[in-house]
Structure 1
Amino acid sequence: MLNIAFISLIVLLVIIIMILLQRKSKTDQHFRSLQENLDHTRVKLAETEAQHDDLNFEISQLRIQNSGLKIQVDKVKKYQDIVDIENYVEHRTLQANGLLEVTKINADIMLQDIKSHIEQVRQFLQQVQKKAQQQAEAGTRAHLKSVYNQVMDQQELEQISQALQHKIQSNKDQFFLPVPNLISQLIDGFDEHAAAQNLLAVRCKIIDAMEQQASAACNYVDEDRRLASIQLFSLVFNSRADLYLAQLNLNNLGELIQALKDDFSLLNMHGIHFSQSQLFESYRDLRVEELKMAAILLQLKQTENAIRESV
């Protein structure tokens, strides 16, 4: 039992000694740390004292400078009013410059607004001018069309009136042409063969026009009625042309040409009442050309016969 108690006591002492050693180690570390802090604090204190001395020196210098500045201020104090005026002028100048900039900005805005308004007015005036011009052109076209229609109607009425007068008066001498001179002009450059060929060519054109319905026109919607009207008007005109061709001699070419043109005008006048049935001028010109070619051929044959008889 004594041994156990002795061992326990020894263990307890060892533990106590270890605890004391640990505490001593911590105490030593803490002491070293405090010593280091103390050394560092001493260094800082020395630096602070040095800075304090520097600050005291600077304060002394500043006090000296302050004294000098006070002396200078006392000297220039009498010019303070001038400085105040300069400051006031500078302040007012800045205000004026600011007001000027604002005015410029407002002026630019107003200028842009005015330009925009002017552009709108210009576009509006262009539209009004264009519309007025279009209306004027439309009115002018309508007036010209009306005048043209009146002129054409007047011309057509004059042609019809002349044709009626020709038919009523039956004045053959009025349409008499100096046949020898006319025939001489028509014969120039032709011989009998050429005249016959030209007459044949004209008659072929007449036949083609009849076959292609290019002699007259009609506004009937019904095709049968339209064709019947075209054939009727062509037949009437062709019968008159054939009659004049049969009556042709060397003394009545001018009379027959005028009579054929009068028949053309009268037929077209009556054609208004038959759904605007109208003979074509191109077809009339073919029948007139046929009369001329026939007169040329007739003159050539008569001349040839006269030469043969003289021989």
Structure 2
Amino acid sequence: MNQILALSFAVIIVILIAVLFRISIKKTAAEKKASELGTTLSRLKIENTRLSKWQVVDDADGRAKEILITAQAELENAKTQAASMISESAQRAKNLEVEALRGLDSAIVQAKGIVAEAEKKAEEIAGSAYEAMKNVEQLGKTAKAMKNIIEGYGDEYLIPRRSLLDDLAEDFGFTEAGINLKAARERTKSMVCNSTAATCEYVEAKRKDTAMDFVVDAFNGKVDSILSRIKNDNAGKLEQEIKDAFTLVNHNGKAFREAAISPEYLASRIDELKWAAVAQQLKLEEKEEQRRIKEQIKEEEKARRDFERAMKDAAKEEDILRKAMEKAQAQIAQASEEQKVKYEAQLTELSERLRAAEEKSQRALSMAQQTKRGHVYIISNIGSFGEHVYKIGLTRRLDPLDRIKELGDSSVPFEFDVHALIFSEDAPALENQLHKHFVMMQMNKVNYRKEFFKVDIGHIREEVEKFGLVAKWTMAALAEEYRQSMLIEKAIAEDPAKKDAWINRQLLLEPADSFAGSDIADKEGLTPCNGLELPVADLTITASGSATRDKS
């Protein structure tokens, strides 16, 4: 059919080109003739003008007029013929175009008839086989999907997924509970991969594996649901629920030739429960400890303000006493012997009071200088500064996160992630020791007050632990806004519809609107949980802004 259409179209094009070429030739000839006649007429007019001077020559004048009239008549006749030829050629071209279109329609109808006839004959010859051939692509996809379902996607789906327990193990990895919880989780995964999590009496390998996978999947589903409710005070109840799930799953597995969860696998999952409960208790204690530290810092802040007020009052009192002493000394110089005794006694009293005021001021200053407690923070900003770049700073704020939020203001494109908040009795000394230890890793080799270091977070943790300080560490940076921005950038690059939706939403946003909190963002399908399918990770440096930093 395609060949017939192409051939018909080619014939029509050739005919049209030929007609247009003939019209062009005739038109050119007519125009040339008209031009020649126009030239002749001009020449005759010039000649007539020249001869008009010789009015005495009547025969020449008459002849010239006759020639002029004849030339004008010939010119008009040529123009008429040219117009007629152009009109005739245009009509013929139009007729040919109509005939060509009719021929093309006829060719298309004829081609469709040929194709339909061929399909009909093919169906008569091949029957249902031809119909199946037309659906071969869809059948191929269906077969592939069925193969995946039958053969499975491997045993990875049977392994307990990463959950809050894994996060708990990471957060408290520096404690015995965190270490043991992580070990229990690894042991659970290993037993599933090694096919030791369950047993079965089937002899045929495939049936045996299928039955074992069935009971392991059922048991893990129940246990994961139970472990998601773990608290520091409900471990006993949840342990019994796990044991009951073990009993029921093994009972149902009897129909599959005694398919059952192994006692060792049960013990491993109960270990997860026990150490998770301990970690939850540590989490509660840590929260209480943080509350106590905040309370302590609050009291120290109040004491500092009291010290400053006491120093100010003492300085004011000293000034008053010195002026009083100067006045007394002036009066002594002009007083009589009896009055001198009186003024000297007053001067002695004022001296004692001045000494007491100076001691009070010095004592307040000394106590204020002893207030060095605070937090040393380790933070990063992958989107702004790249991987493995950390800021090591300190703050005496009651809530150290307030200082970090200030650092992540509009001067940097993304928020900071907090890797550690380390409370210290002498925070300035700890910060200084860390800065000196990592001096070769310092990013800014000119301004040492820019406290950014290119170093592995594990090395920072090791150095802090050498001081015997215990802190909660987040080893991996969340960098949520940065990673979501990269995913959005990729999505709008691949999908024009999402690009347009995102641009329209951005244009409607007010300057103070945030991405995550925008109703428009949700409607357009650009939030992390809608449309772009941004994953949620688990986890929390900035230029100081000037040569002197705020240690408040």
Whether TM-score is above 0.5 comes out as no
TM-score range with shorter-chain normalisation?
0.3 to 0.5
**Relative CO higher for 1 or 2, CA cutoff 8 Å, sep ≥ 6?**
1
Larger-Rg structure: 1
